[in-house]
Chain A
Amino acid sequence: MQFVRAIVRPEKKDEVLENLSSGGFNAATVVDVVGRGKQKGIRMGDIYYDEIPKTLILVAIEDADTDKIVDIILRTAKTGTDGNFGDGKIFISPVEEAYTISKGTKGL
């Protein structure tokens, strides 16, 4: 099992969730976060904005689905044809066990 953490633009959140749902990944957790990237935030004149609001989407999936879900997020969260700074990042980390509380059973 893998954990996919995707940081995307808040305005792209609904579109990403919609596409994940139609791609068969309905389950997701969403957190509002702030952060900056390699570009050290945005500079407007003398002011630096380095706490830029983003949305963190967490999805737990089976190993085999990793490429599919990454592809959906990459396609949806990108802005313009070439993409822009600030479109976000995707991280994938391993999950050893998962439990469903209502049934008390193991697995997704």
Chain B
Amino acid sequence: MKEIMAIVRMKRTGATKRALIEAGVAGFTAFKVTGRGKLLDHSEINVPCKEKLMGMAASDVIDRKESEEQVVTFLDDKRMFPRRMFTILAYDEDVPRIIEAIIKANRTERGAGDGKIFVTPVNNAVRVRTGESGDAAIW
């Protein structure tokens, strides 16, 4: 028995839920979390992102330096970004299939910030309604 914890973009919650159903998994728990990842030093991701954000800045800004500063602090990666965390209980043999489905539903062209998946062992599970435990309690 394994627990899969997946941290995904808020906007991809619906796509992830659909992908899970297609993968044959209906049950999950999800929370709103905030988080951050590794410090980004890839200029090939950072520079286009910076340009795009600068393009979105108001055109009547007198102090260009100020909006530049805002963009840089937005990308310095020390701030926390909102994400959705899914936890899914699964049989050992289903884990690779579920992980593949989550990865497929959540990859974007932006790359950095798409999320992480963790697989942790679970010793036991109990279904409250019937009291059955072990593999029978998963679904």
Instruction: Check if B77 sits within 8 Å of A101, measured CB to CB.
Output: no
> Please, how many residues of chain B have a CB less than 8 angstroms from a CB on the other chain?
36
State whether A94 and B120 are in contact (beta carbons under 8 Å apart), knowing that A26-B36, A30-B33 are contacts in the complex.
Answer: yes
> Which chain A residues numbered 79 to 108 have a C-beta less than 8 Å away from chain B?
93-104, 108
Tell me how many residues of A have a C-beta within 8 Å of chain B.
25
| Residues in B neighbouring A26, C-beta threshold 8 A | 36-39, 77-78
CB-CB < 8 A to B8: which residues of A?
101
Distance in angstroms from B43 CB to nearest chain A CB is 16
Given A93-B120, A94-B121: A27 in contact with B38 (beta carbons within 8 A): yes
Q: How far is the CA of A26 from the CA of B80 in the complex (A)?
A: 10
Q: Please list the residues of chain B having a beta carbon within 8 angstroms of any beta carbon in chain A.
A: 2, 6-8, 31, 33-39, 77-78, 80, 83, 85, 95, 99, 102-103, 106-108, 110-121
User: A residues within 8 Å of B by Cβ?
Assistant: 1, 3, 17, 21, 26-31, 58, 60, 93-104, 108
What are 27 residue pairs bridging A and B, where the CB atoms are less than 8 Å apart in the complex?
Answer: A1-B118, A3-B120, A21-B78, A26-B37, A26-B38, A26-B78, A27-B35, A28-B35, A28-B36, A29-B33, A29-B34, A31-B85, A95-B120, A96-B119, A97-B118, A98-B119, A99-B103, A99-B116, A99-B117, A101-B6, A101-B103, A101-B106, A101-B107, A102-B110, A102-B111, A102-B112, A104-B107
